[in-house]
Structure 1
Amino acid sequence: MNTRRDYSLRNTIFLRLVVTFALIMLPIATVGVSIYQWSIRTASNDISKTAVSQISFYLNDLENEIERMKLLQYGLLEDTDLNKLAITWESMGDIERMESITAVLNRAFTLQNSSNYIRDVSVHVKPIGKTLSSLSGAGDFEAERFEALRTASDGRGTKPIERAGNLYLSAAKPNGLKEKTPLFIIEIELDSHKLRQALQQFNTYPGSGSIMKARHSGFLIGSGIVRTLDEEAQNKLSLIASGSSGTITLEEQSYFVSHAYSDRLDQSIYRFIPERVVRKPLDKFYARAWLFAAGALIIMAVYALSTYKFIHKPLLKLVKGFRRLESGDLEQAIAHDANDEFRYIYERFNQMVVNLRTLIDQVWRQKVLAQRAELKQLQSQINPHFLYNSFFIMNTMAKTGDTERIEMFTTLLGDYFQFVTRNASDEVTLKQEVHHARTYTEIQELRFYKRIEVYFEELPEPFERLSVPRLIVQPIIENAFEHSLEKKARNGRIEVRFERSGSWLCIIVEDNGDSLSDDVLAGIKRKLDSEGELAESTGIVNIHRRLLITCGEDSGIRVSRGEHGGLRATIRIPIKEGTADAAIADR
């Protein structure tokens, strides 16, 4: 049975060792990557929490500052001079009017100076048709601004109003009548420049920026790298507005964004910190992580190379040695210079090959000697019955004076004994073997005259020089005479034919004997199939064993019941290269 297997790379110990080592290194690399990602998340979360805390604190201060402004605004709303101007303007004299206007402007100027975030304080008094401003003084009534403020204002507690890119605080004095138009409106304009300066305090990192944005209007103040935002960027910010922080990409630059919202002001502050700022403290760790990865790859490469050199390559050499041994190469020897375990294995392998070669030589010689001994034994086994019958036939011929047949008979008998007793060679040509079988057949035809007929087909010329073991045809014919046809009174027949089957020459010996039972046929087959050393060593079994030794497997003798009812013995001999292909055709 052929047990050879193909050892592809995926089935080798080398690959399994490398994969195992890689699997060992994989968790370490995974832990390293996880630590790096955790460090980034931790750093970004710390920065984000700090940023959120700062802008939340600022928004809280801004809420308090706006609330203080509103309280002062509401205080101005109840100012006596202002209310007198709005109500008694018609009955007041010019000097009184001037004094009241001056008093109101002073109060407005005081309110303006109460906070850095106030740019201007204006009072729009509709009954007198004037607008009083802390910056520009008394002027004509600004009806358009009045209407815009009246429409947007809803009384006390209102949030800053966005108009024309600025923020305003508005407070209106109702007129006490059924009319909805107020007597006057106090307007505080917040200073966008001061608000931008306040946002600048959050831009502590290079490349950072901050913006203040109204949630329900288009108001936006930016500082640092963020001055304005397009629609797409504002949509991205709206996603972050639901939480306190997130990540956004603006102009191919990634930012960590911290967010805080004031419901009282309806304003959000977004703080943009470049992602590289967060990663910068981890650059050394990042570089070391890459060094670790490169070191791990180098270790894996060194491990793979050393495993290949010191384990896989010697094992591969041993596997190749066994393959050559399977192919029959018994002259090989594996050399190994290193003084390690493989050297011992190779030495044992080499010794095994030597021992195997010695054993094979011994067994082969024993088989050859046994074959020769069997042949000599067969040669020495001259059937006494055949010898007695031969002398009896000669005696009868002598009594009858048949000298012509005596001469022919003695010549045939001499050729027969000369071939049988010759010890020069174990093999002869098929032509010589067939000639000897014909000689024996002619002797037996003289003995069984008119009782047994022999049909002997001519040997095809291309097979005449085939080398075969001696005495392989004649003993089978002898077996047919003795065991099948000797007691047959008449019409006995033996046929000897030659047929080609592929690369085999078949010599068929068939008789028409009627004494072959199924049990006897089965017994002959069992003896031919037996491989024991104690099996029969003469007759058909002897021929079969010698053919197996000389010609190899699938050669030998096959027995079956012939077409005429007797035994059919087929001798299979391989046709060696060089034999003419013009032999007899397959039948």
Structure 2
Amino acid sequence: MMYLVIILPIILLGVYLYNWSYRNASEEMSRNTLTQLSTYLEDLNREIEWLEIQQFDILQEGELNRIAVTWQQMDRVEQRRSINYVLRRLVSIKNSSAYVKDIYVHIPSINKTISANSAVHALERERYEQIRSMGGPGASRLVRQGDSLQLSAFRFGGKHNKEPLCTVQVEIDSEKLKDTLQLLNVYPGSGSMLISKDSGFQVESRGASQEVIEAFKRKAGGRTDNTIILGIEGHKYHFNMADSNKLNLSLLSYLPEETVKRPLYKFNRWAWLFMITSVFALLVYIISTYRFVHRPLLLLVQSFRRMESGILNSQIKHAQKDEFGYLYDRFNQMLIKLQTLIDQDYKQKLMMQKAELKQLQSQINPHFLYNSFFILNSLAKTGDIERIEKFTVMLGEYYRFITRNSEDNVPLSEEIKHARRYMEIQQLRFSRRIRVQFDELPKEMERIKVPRLIVQPIIENAYEHSLEKVQKEGLLRVTFAQSSGEWTISVEDNGICLDDAEIEMLKEHLAHHTKSHEMTGLMNIHRRIVLTYGEGSGLIISRSELNGLKIVIRIQAKEEILDV
């Protein structure tokens, strides 16, 4: 502990020195960058001012004035000589500035444009009107046309003449701007961008990251700080911005934070080495104490907790032959004996449950056979051959289901199909006095695994005990429902039902697993469901809204009972 008290202030001092060095490096880079940006804008402004002077010089040329005013009075030789003179002046200006992509003189009176690159051609009226509309008092010196910046100057013939005699237009070379902006990117991963405040025009240095620039526009749209730091896609960037009110331009530069930290990497490595070396001795002591004392004790405590939660197959080992080795060995012997006793008891109970389940299942299987022969006998007495034929086909399908499905559990969709087949068989006999409402099984419940013959016997119970004596307008309803935690199947009727006291007695028999002659079938179903799904599942008996008997099969929802 004393070692930690001594070394901790030294570590904190190293962290402070690192942060102080980082702030100084960041501020120094920002100052240098802002100086470069301001110098660039000043140089660009001087270049623009020189171009403006050249524009006004051209507008004062006598040859240009002759072309605009007396073109029709000039012969072809004079026209050619004047045009060539103006053209040479334009070429001379273009060659004198690297920022000029082309320079035009628009003369609307003769419907011609003189260009340093393409000589003389017809005036492009749409382009000319666009340039003219963006000029005038209060307009920006640099305007946007298409993907480039333009510098325009006009000469009017008189006070009342709204159309200029001629217009000198200088097109700034965007590619040259990119090249000069590239010179500002002196740090790895840096980039820069020139932005026109009014027109929305922008030009980026070559290799500038569009993602970084777009993220800056979104996150720092209204900020006026010259230097800000923003996090973009998991990386931090330092942004510096300088403004030129004369040109109405802003110049943005960015560089990754890794570049700012690069001079500190060596210091950082030595600081980490010092920190690791300082705490190494402390870690050796802590690890050795943890390994030889704390960890064996913790493992023993965890093993006891797992044993308390019912996990008995996790024996523990100890390499050293010490006190912990003896404790571990005694603990493992205790687990083995406890597991043996539990296995014996569990297997015995499981075998008894399976035997009981098979016994309950077998009690139900012959039940429908007896009733089928009674129904077939009744149909034979009526002499209705067509109904007998239909009945025997359905009866064959019914018994094919029984003989084909040897498993104890089947998907609920097959069980409901079997119950629906039984209902159709019964309706051949009772269709005139009993109506059946049998809902469709929801898709979500089709794959539930259920014990065989749990729905059909309940429907059979309704026919035999509730609806048997109904002479007309009998109703049997089978519905399905699901909610978070359980599924239910409801079978209810409007038949001659037991009174409330008898219904309570039936519920009492189910709750205490007592048997009576009337309860044998329902008790079988209830016990099978409880054995399959556990307590909380089973049959619920109550008075139906139809004024008859209602029996609900409730199944507690568990993922493992789905037929996957």
TM range (shorter): 0.3 to 0.5
Q: What TM-score do the two structures reach when normalised by structure 1? A: 0.46
Q: What TM-score do the two structures reach when normalised by structure 2? A: 0.48
